């Protein structure tokens, strides 16, 4: 979902919408981890989702610069990432980070193979004009030799990221890990501007500020509650 979103929208916009993931983490921790969330954090979560709606407002529709339903993809990706993070925290007590990262990659390969079996010949790509769907359904090809090294490096980076994130969420409280993920917006802005010449709409910056502020408050508040319990 996040790959399909990046194809159709500015890199920073996709990542700004994706920042709702830490709020999903807090919500999912209630049924899965049995954690309690007080009214202040619920209010912050509601405000954060309001920031997402603010970003979506300028992107929905069919006019020039509008993205339509594609803006939902980063949010769905964030929900999936949040589920993975919560399950990592739950399984981390008995599983190694390397095992968790390996399972993630195996699942990723399995899903990709299923897509190849169903649509790998590209027969469905010609039936749509949507950029994201066409990207997902285009025919699979052998990469040219010039692309082999970048693809190999991309695989190594993805494997390292999977291991490091699994280890981080396994060993550290989410309140200590999640705020660092917001630095992703800085990198997304830099690479989107320098490589692709992209710059998000002002409304995206406003909504991202609301989401990031809400997320940081939620995790700071969680850290404060844990400190009080230890005392």
Q: Range of 143's domain?
A: 2-230
What mean pLDDT value characterizes the chain?
81
Q: What is the pLDDT of residue 144?
A: 92
Distance CA 91, CA 97 (A): 10
Distance CA 150, CA 135 (A): 19
- Residue 176 — very low, low, confident or very high, per pLDDT cuts 50/70/90? low
pLDDT at 60 over 60: yes
Residues near 92 by Cβ (< 8 Å), separated by ≥ 6? 100, 166, 169, 170, 171
**Count of structural domains within the chain:** 1
Contact call for residues 200 and 30 (beta carbons, < 8 A): no
Q: What is the pLDDT of residue 61?
A: 56
Q: What is the pLDDT of residue 151?
A: 92
pLDDT digits (tens, 9 = 90+) for 135-154: 888 899 888 999 999 999 99
């Amino acid at each position: 979902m996040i790959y399909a979103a990046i194809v159709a929208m500015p890199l920073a916009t996709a990542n700004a919408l994706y920042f709702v993931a830490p709020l999903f983490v807090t919500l999912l921790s209630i049924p899965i981890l049995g954690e309690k969330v007080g009214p202040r954090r619920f209010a912050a979560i509601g405000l954060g989702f309001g920031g997402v709606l603010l970003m979506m407002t300028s992107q929905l529709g069919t006019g020039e610069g509008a993205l339509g339903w594609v803006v939902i993809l980063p949010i769905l990706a964030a929900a999936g990432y949040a589920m993975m993070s919560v399950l990592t925290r739950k399984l981390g007590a008995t599983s190694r980070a390397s095992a968790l990262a390996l399972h993630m990659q195996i699942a990723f390969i399995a899903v990709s193979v299923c897509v190849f079996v169903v649509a790998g010949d590209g027969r469905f790509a010609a039936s749509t004009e949507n950029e994201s769907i066409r990207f997902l359904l285009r025919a699979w090809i052998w990469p040219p030799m010039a692309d082999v090294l970048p693809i190999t490096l991309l695989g190594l980076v993805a494997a390292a990221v999977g291991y490091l994130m699994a280890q981080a969420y396994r060993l550290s409280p989410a309140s200590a890990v999640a705020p660092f993920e917001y630095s992703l917006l800085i990198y997304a802005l830099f690479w989107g501007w320098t490589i692709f010449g992209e710059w998000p709409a002002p409304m995206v910056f406003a909504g991202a500020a609301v989401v990031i502020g809400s997320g940081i408050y939620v995790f700071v508040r969680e850290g404060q509650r844990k400190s009080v319990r230890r005392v």
